[in-house]
Structure 1
Amino acid sequence: MSVPLLHLEDRLTCLSIAPELGASLVNWQASATGQALLRPADEAALASGNPRRLGCYPLAPWSNRIAEGGFQRPDGWLALAPNTGHDPYPIHGSAWQQAWQVEHHSEHHARLSLDSTIPFAYRATLDVQLHEGCLNIDLQVTHLDPAATWYGLGLHPYFPRHPDTRLHAQARTVWLAENGALPSRQAEIPDHWNFSTEQALPAAVVDHAFSEWPGNCVIEQPGAGYRLVCNARGAEHFLLFCPHEQPFFCFEPVSHPINAHHLPGRPGLRLLQEGETTSLGFRMQYQPL
């Protein structure tokens, strides 16, 4: 499978993007060393056509999972079916499973757009910019359906995980589940998940949403010779996914916790009327050590 790619480059880094694969970022690398700054994607990963094997993709019009087969809108129930073969819940919205159009492409900037009718009408734009080693991603979504609908956004980057990878990201609570269900309650963050001071990623699996996040994080990669200093806009939550014995982890800036459509008060979701817009941004600054 041949996948058309866009290429961006600045003085310090270079980036490839696959618009047809859910507007996915494929590889982001330090130009001088070839060091991967997002999880590297080889030809087999690209040929799979699966954004989950690439570097980063946008999450719209929601992040993560929604339970109960859908959710309630002001004018009635919106039914949602599972959208993958591996998960019983609809996950990560619909933007990542559609081809995006290229609106603009230059050396430092690409703008992609998507006009979607799944599961309702919306228009999304993704601006990706490189400048002096800073990767800036801005996601904007406008609701185009006559029925008002709850929206949430996110980004799903995959980062290389090395034995000495360290994370600094301050939050106040973590969402926990009862009896294997989706998370339903907030709790204090245990010490081994508390990254308010920089620490190594835990050895055990983590797949949780953390809340009351000010939007800043640092990913330290001492052995690989760099750090990423990150800042999010429109995201008061992050999801941390550390699978067992894998060479990557995910740190996802999101506007809402998992299954927010069914949590009291729908934390982080926005009810958009036709023509209204919501947005989220993430800035990652590469710093050689």
Structure 2
Amino acid sequence: MAVPLLQLQDHLTQLEIAPTLGASLANWQVRATGQPLLRPADQAALATGSPRRLGCYPLVPWSNRIAEGGIAGPEGWLALPPNTDHDPYPIHGSAWQQPWQVEHHSQRRARLSLHSQVPFAYRATLDVQLHEGCLSLDLHVTHLDARPMWHGVGFHPYFPRYTDTQLQVAAHRVWVGDEGQLPSRLADIPAPWRFDEQKGLPPQTVDHAFSGWAGGCIIQQPGYALHCHASGAEHYLLFCPQGQPFFCFEPVSHPINAHHLPGRPGLRLMHREETLHLRFSMRYQSNC
């Protein structure tokens, strides 16, 4: 069955959105050349029905993994079973696994919304806009449950990775773990993971959260650059799987497993009708 897609375009770029697949961005590319700016998704990728095969999706109401089988709220324990068959932990919230509704669609704008009861009641809206080669994503999440609960947000974009892909982004510390994929402590950033100056991605696998981020990032690709900026996110996750033609640079409000870290860094305890906001923009600039 074909996946319904929304089409957006400005004079430089064009975008496909898959509302029923977790409000995912399927393809963003240069109009004149077809060059992909996010990891491209063909019909086979769309047919899987998984946002993990597409270009980008929102992370609501948390980012990445949560350990210990759930989280403690002010009014008691909330159990969270694994939500995929590839990971022992619940991962990336619940919004990416639900269909979103289209509230508005025009040539350069779209608004999508989700009313969720899983794992608690919340409403999410995603405003998508293209303007002069800049893709802007505005994510709002409103808590609707009678019980207060911890919230976090983020985006999970996949970028093409080439031999000469380079990254420039500054952070203060990195969250690392002594075992497994869950962090336990903040540490100084080792040289291979420091991108204060523009340089290539490391050949070894990286899957870590970085803190103390001011929100700016430049991704340099063959023939173009993406100038990225986030507000509402003081952390980013860098995921560079070894031997894969993509990498992920994820603006997020909190590190991995923040619900079980001291002080719950980056999370916000929200009561009914309180709202959390994250904005992420990516501006295409040709080098030709």
1:265 aligns to what?
A: 263
Aligned to 2:272: 274
Q: Hey, what does 1:133 align to over in structure 2?
A: 133
Aligned partners of 1:83, 1:281: CA distance in 2, in Å? 26
- Counterpart in 1 of 2:50? 50
1:65 and 2:65 aligned: yes
Aligned residue type for 1:219: I
Equivalent-residue separation in structure 1 for 2:260 and 2:249 (angstroms) = 23
- Structure 2 residue 116 is matched with structure 1 residue 116: yes
**Matching residue of 2:9:** 9
How far the C-alpha of 1:181 sits from its partner, in A, is 5.3
TM-score, normalization by structure 1: 0.99
Query: What percentage of aligned pairs have identical amino acids?
Result: 69
The 5-angstrom pairing of residues 234-253 of structure 1 reads: 234-253=232-251
Deviations 1:58-110 (A, max 9, x none): 00000000000001100101110000000000000000000000000000000
Partners of 2:144 and 2:184 lie apart in 1 by 31
What is residue 143 of structure 2 aligned with on the other side? 143
Question: Which residue of structure 1 lines up, in the alignment, with residue 189 of structure 2?
Answer: 189
2:70, 2:197 → 1: CA distance?
Answer: 38
Correspondences of 1:146-157 after superposition (within 5 Å): 146-157=146-157
RMSD between superposed Cα atoms in Å: 0.6
Q: Distance in 2 between matches of 1:16 and 1:181?
A: 32
Q: In structure 1, give the amino acid aligned to 2:251.
A: P
Q: 1:117 & 1:183 partners in 2: Cα distance?
A: 29
CA distance in 2, matches of 1:148, 1:245: 42
The CA distance in 1 between the partners of 2:181 and 2:33, in whole Å, is 44
SS at match of 1:14: strand
Deviations 1:89-135 (A, max 9, x none): 00000000000000000000000000000000000000000000000
Partner of 1:95: 95
Counterpart of 1:231?
Answer: 229
- The 2-side partners of 1:243 and 1:179 are apart by 18
Amino acid at match of 2:132: E
Q: CA deviation at 1:150?
A: 0.2
1:158 Cα deviation from its structure 2 partner:
0.1
In structure 2, the partner of 1:288 is: 286
1:5-24 per-residue CA deviation (whole Å, 9 max, x = no partner) reads: 00000010000000000000
**Pairwise CA distance, 1:180:** 2.2
- Determine the C-alpha separation between the residues in 1 that align with 2:29 and 2:257: 34
Structure 1 segments, 4+ long, off by >6 Å, are: none
Stretches of structure 2 that go unaligned for 5 or more consecutive residues are none
Note the C-alpha offset of 1:178. 1.2
CA-CA distance at 1:195 after TM superposition: 0.5
User: CA shift at 1:267, angstroms?
Assistant: 0.3
Aligned to 1:256: 254
Distance 1:181 1:110 in 2: 35
Code of the aligned partner of 2:42: D
Alpha-carbon distance in structure 2 between the residues aligned to 1:105 and 1:57: 18
> In structure 2, what is the Cα distance between the partners aligned to 1:121 and 1:59?
15
Deviations 1:168-199 (A, max 9, x none): 01001011001225101010000100001111
- In structure 1, what is the Cα distance between the partners aligned to 2:198 and 2:106? 37
Residue aligned with 1:192, SS: helix
2:36 maps to 1:36: yes
SS at match of 1:198: strand
Q: Deviations over 1:248-276 (max 9, x none)?
A: 00000000000000000000000000110
Structure 1: runs of 5+ lacking an equivalent: none
